[in-house]
Amino acid sequence: MPEPVSLVSAFDDFPNPRRTQGLDHGFTDLLEIAVGTLRVGEERVYGMEDFGRAREDWLRTFLPLPSGIASHDTFNRLCHALDPAAFAGG
């Protein structure tokens, strides 16, 4: 049985489809908030922003969030750029 991996470190090698310049929000920060949002049953990008803002103090205990919580527009761009096969390990 494989060793358990923290959710934060689970995305360390996940392919980041975003451009490399002008990024205000960490890739792992965005993924963590998106996954947390999905875990509570919300699927909209507006919900990702709301989830992050409502839980920002708690999220900062394990995420750096140097630019705070991303907007729903940022989550929208990320969700459209992600390769679904990467989540399946392929």
- Residue 25: inside a domain: no
User: What pLDDT, on the 0 to 100 scale, is given for residue 27?
Assistant: 87
Q: Which whole-number Å values give the CA distances from 50 to 13, 18, 44, 71, in the listed order?
A: 27, 22, 10, 9
pLDDT at residue 15 in the model: 74
As for how many domains the chain has, the answer is: 1
Please give the mean pLDDT across all residues of the chain. Answer: 86
- CA geometry: angle 76, 29, 17, nearest 5 deg: 55
The boundaries of the domain holding residue 79 are 43-84
Domain presence at residue 12: no
Model confidence at 1, pLDDT cuts 50, 70, 90, reads low
Give 34 or 6, the one with higher predicted confidence. Answer: 34
In this structure, is residue 52 part of a structural domain?
yes
Classify each residue of 73-87 as buried b or exposed e, where b means 16 or more C-beta atoms within 10 Å of its C-beta: ebbbbbeeebeeeee
Q: Which two tokens stand for residue 67?
A: 């630019």
Contacts of 35 (CB under 8 A, 6+ apart): 7
Residue 34 lies in a domain: no
Structural domain includes residue 58: yes
Q: Is residue 26 one of the residues assigned to a domain?
A: no
